[in-house]
Structures are given as C-alpha cells and as structure tokens.
C-alpha cells in the first residue's frame, strides 16, 4: 500500500476547479496504477497558514498511516501563500519569514515520522490587479514580491533538508488565475502535469 498525503491550503484543496484540483487529478492517475495506491486530500480551503498546518499535521498523518510502512508513504505539501499576505494596516506580512522558516523545518521533521519521500509544491504568483487588496479580506494584499521571497526561502530550505521542491512561481499564466490568486481548471491541469512529471522522473511514484 502506497499513500500520498496531500497537505496544504486552498491550492492543495482544489479551489475554483470543478474537477477537484491538481490533487484530484493526481489521485486518478496514481490510483489507476494500482489498487493499493491511495491519495488523501488534506488541504484546507480557507485561510490555512504554516502555523496552522504545523498544529494539525501530526494528528492527521497518524490516523491515516500504518506504522512500519513509512518507506512507502509520500508527503506532498503546498503551503505558504497565506503566510505572505501583507497586512496593510500593520505594514507587515502575516507570518514573519523567520517563523515561516521554523514552521517549514518543523513540517519536514514531522513528515519524516510518517514518510520517506517529502515533496513541497512551490507557490504560484498572483494577478495583483485582483489581489492588492484582496477582495474577500480588503485589509490584506497578496503581492508577488513577498510570495517570491517566501518561495525562494522554501526552495532554499528544501535544498538544505534534501527534500523535493517543485518550482511553480511564474509558470502559471495570470489569465488562468480565476480570482487573481487561485488557478482555474486549466491552471490546475498544468500544475498536475508538473507534479506528475516531477514525481515520475525522480522515481517517487
């Protein structure tokens, strides 16, 4: 039995995609390879940050995995964009970079308890004409300058910790971002193809 544990935010959840996002496409692809393959979508669609993911990661992974099968499990993690939200009135990002770094290293440490293969899905950029400010939380903004900085930091940590990292920043055209921040079905299809290729080429699945 091989599990993919898909942890993350609304990107992992599949927001704005009637087909369930890249994780649903990955599930169909991966589970078609074997009846013993399973994919869990553990993405939270609203306001998930690295702070919150650290709090829930271990308990959610524990109830879905079997001791002794860690070598067969894959942790696929997509997190960070909400950490970069710029709080306009406070003139700062929502989760400071130093705490974000601690959270990512903690997530890697936790994931290693349950899986031998850990891969982070990098952040995508935004269409700032639609996200600065964010319509549904107008005291905040998504800005590419901060997303890029946090994504670069994520890539650096992954390299240091020797875990997988899939670069997405700048690779999803802004016309495929349904609300300026979340990809539509075509965008999720592109992300799925990039993840599938990475996992396949690196012998992870």
Question: What secondary structure does DSSP assign to 98-126, as a single string?
Answer: HHHHHHHHHHHHHHTTT-SEEEEEPPP--
Distance of CA 40 to the CA centre of its chain: 13
* Cis peptide leading into residue 183 (ω within 30°): no
Cβ atoms within 10 A of the Cβ of 91, count?
7
| Domain boundaries along the sequence of the chain | 2-201
Q: Kindly state the tokens that stand for 202.
A: 């690196």
pLDDT band for position 180 (cuts 50, 70, 90): very high
Pair of tokens at residue 11 = 């990107």
Residue 55 has pLDDT above 90, yes or no: yes
Q: Residue 1: pLDDT above 90?
A: no
pLDDT of residue 200: 97
CB 107 within 8 A of CB 57: yes
Residue 46, pLDDT above cutoff 90? no
How does the average pLDDT of the chain come out, rounded? 97
pLDDT of amino acid 40: 98
Q: pLDDT above 90 covers what percent of the chain? A: 98
> Which residues, 6 or more positions from 105, have their beta carbon under 8 angstroms from its beta carbon?
157, 161
Give the mean pLDDT of 139-143: 98
Full-model pTM: 0.97
- The pLDDT assigned to 37 comes to 96
Mean pLDDT of 150-168: 98
78 forms beta bridges with: 8
Q: CATH number of the domain at 2-201, out of 3.40.50.300, 3.40.50.1100, 3.40.50.1110, 3.30.70.260?
A: 3.40.50.1110
Cβ-contact 185, 17 below 8 angstroms: yes
Instruction: Decide if 128 contacts 142 (C-beta within 8 A).
Output: yes
Q: In the chain, what percentage of residues exceed pLDDT 70?
A: 100
pLDDT at 108 over 90: yes
For position 187, what pLDDT does the model report?
98
Q: In what order do the strands lie in the sheet containing 74-78?
A: 37-43, 2-8, 74-78, 117-121, 164-166
Confidence of residue 144 (pLDDT cuts 50, 70, 90): very high
pLDDT value for 69: 86
Closest Cα partner for 129 from 179, 92, 74?
179
pLDDT band at 90 (very low <50, low <70, confident <90, very high): very high
Please write down the long-range contacts of 87-92, taking CB distance under 8 Å and 24 or more positions apart.
Answer: 87/139, 87/140, 88/133, 88/139, 88/140, 88/141, 89/139
Please state whether beta strands 2-8 and 37-43 pair in parallel, antiparallel, or not at all (unpaired).
parallel
Alpha carbon distance 120, 164 (integer Å): 6
């Amino acid at each position: 039995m091989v599990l993919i544990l898909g942890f993350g935010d609304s990107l992992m959840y599949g927001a704005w995609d009637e087909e369930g996002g890249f994780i649903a496409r990955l599930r169909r692809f991966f589970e078609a390879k074997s009846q013993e393959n399973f994919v869990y979508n553990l993405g939270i669609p609203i306001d998930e940050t690295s702070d919150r993911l650290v709090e829930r990661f271990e308990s959610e992974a524990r109830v879905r995995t079997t001791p002794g099968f860690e070598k067969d499990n894959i942790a696929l993690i997509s997190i960070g964009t909400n950490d970069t939200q710029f709080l306009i009135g406070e003139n700062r990002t929502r989760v400071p970079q130093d705490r974000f770094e601690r959270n990512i290293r903690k997530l890697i440490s936790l994931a290693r308890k349950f899986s031998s293969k850990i891969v982070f899905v990098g952040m995508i950029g935004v269409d700032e004409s639609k996200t600065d400010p964010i319509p549904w939380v107008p005291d905040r903004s998504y800005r590419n300058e901060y997303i890029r900085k946090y994504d670069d930091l994520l890539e650096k940590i992954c390299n240091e910790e020797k875990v997988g990292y899939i670069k997405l920043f700048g690779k999803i055209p802004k016309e495929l971002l349904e609300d300026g921040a979340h990809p539509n079905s075509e965008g999720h299809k592109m992300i799925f193809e990039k993840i599938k290729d990475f996992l396949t080429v690196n012998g992870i699945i």
